Amino acid sequence: MSKIKIVTDSALDMTSDELQKMGITMVPLTVYVDGKTYLDSVEISAEEFLIKMDQSKEMPKTSQPPVGKFLEVYDELGKDGTQIISIHMTGGMSGTYQSAKQAAEMSTSDVTVVDSRYISRALSYQVLEAARMADAGNTVDEIVARLEEVRSETKLYIMVDTLENLIKGGRIGKAQGFIGSLLNIKPIANLDIGALSPVTKVRSHAKGIKFFVDQISEELKGRELVRFSICHAGRNSHEFSQNLSAKITEITGFKDIDICVTAPIISAHAGPGAVGIMYQAK
pTM, to two decimals = 0.92
Q: Tell me the average pLDDT across 66-78.
A: 98
Comparing CA positions, the residue from 267, 34, 37, 48 lying closest to residue 164 is 267
Helix (H, G, I), strand (E, B) or coil at 262: coil
pLDDT of residue 192: 82
- The answer to whether residues 255 and 228 touch, using CB atoms and an 8 Å cutoff, is no
pLDDT of residue 195: 83
Q: What is the distance of C-alpha 36 from the center of its chain?
A: 23
Q: Is the pLDDT of residue 44 over 60?
A: yes
Q: Is the pLDDT of residue 170 over 80?
A: no
Q: Is the pLDDT of residue 175 over 60?
A: no
Phi, psi dihedrals of residue 115, rounded to the nearest 5°: -90, 110
pLDDT of residue 168: 56
Q: Is the pLDDT of residue 181 over 70?
A: no
Q: Pick 163 or 103 by higher pLDDT.
A: 103
Q: Is the pLDDT of residue 182 over 60?
A: no
pLDDT of residue 66: 98
Out of 1-15, 97-111, 255-269, least confident range: 1-15
Give percent of the chain with pLDDT exceeding 90.
82
Q: Tell me the average pLDDT across 9-16.
A: 96
Q: Is the pLDDT of residue 225 over 60?
A: yes
What's the whole-number average pLDDT of the chain?
92
How sure is the predictor about 77, in pLDDT bands with cuts at 50, 70 and 90? very high
pLDDT of residue 196: 85
Q: pLDDT by residue (tens digit) across 20-36?
A: 999 999 999 999 999 99
DSSP 10: G
Out of 53-67, 106-120, 157-171, least confident range: 157-171
Q: Is the pLDDT of residue 249 over 60?
A: yes
Where are the extended beta strands (E) located within the chain?
4-9, 24-27, 30-33, 36-39, 61-63, 83-88, 111-115, 154-159, 186-192, 195-202, 225-232, 257-261, 275-281
CA distance 8 to 13: 11
The C-alpha angle with vertex 46 and arms to 34 and 271, in degrees rounded to 5, equals 65
Q: Tell me the average pLDDT across 207-221.
A: 97
3-state helix, strand, coil in the chain (%, to 5): 45, 25, 30
Phi, psi dihedrals of residue 157, rounded to the nearest 5°: -115, 155
How sure is the predictor about 180, in pLDDT bands with cuts at 50, 70 and 90? very low
Q: Tell me the average pLDDT across 153-169.
A: 79
Structural domains in the chain, CATH included, are 4-152 (3.40.50.10170), 153-281 (3.30.1180.10)
pLDDT of residue 162: 73
Give percent of the chain with pLDDT exceeding 70.
91
pLDDT of residue 124: 98
